[in-house]
Amino acid sequence: MLRRYLNGEERCALELVRRHEPDLLSYVYSYVENHDDSKDIVQEVFKEFFSMLRSGKYTEQGKLFHLLLKIAHHRIEDFFDKKKLHDAHFDSAQCDSDWVLIPEEEDAEAFTEEEMKLFRELVHALELLERKILIMRYHGRHSWEEIGEETGMSANSASHMYSRIVRHLRQEISGMMKPE
């Protein structure tokens, strides 16, 4: 069937999907527990598989279904990684009204209103993961281990990223506030 597909018989792709889609849907659904998300993930699995076939990266070692399960497992992991980041997203209105973020060592009174506005803008411009780490550490007072678990990185990596983010924010603020 695969050779026929590679030789140009497109209907063989439909037959492969028809054969394996129900079992893949069942497998994916057992993890994500949402029918629409399961269908989306299975669609991504087949897109990746057919791309792999066309590029010549697939070798017929082992069972085809096992490869599809392996791809599905990776897409499920991606799904949950994206979901974690999405769940941690704070919209800008919440950030502006519910909390004020300032560097830990500095006294809040040391900042002018203009500096605080610039700081908030810089925080909102950070990538989602960076913003999440900053918020969890400063505002939520989470440990490095908790941050590492939540973000899927080591505690040491989270600590280094936090330090880099704070250093970057301080440099940006001091550069913006220098008199011309």
Query: Which of these, 123, 109, 137, lies nearest to 170 by C-alpha position?
Result: 123
pTM given for the model: 0.47
> Within 13 Å and on the Cβ side, how many CA atoms surround 71?
22
Which H/E stretch holds residue 21? helix 11-32
Map out the domains of the chain with their CATH numbers.
2-87 (1.10.1740.10), 92-177 (1.10.10.10)
Average pLDDT for the chain: 76
pLDDT tens-digit map of 39-64: 999 999 999 988 888 888 776 666 78
Query: With contact defined as beta carbons under 8 Å apart, do 70 and 86 qualify?
Result: no
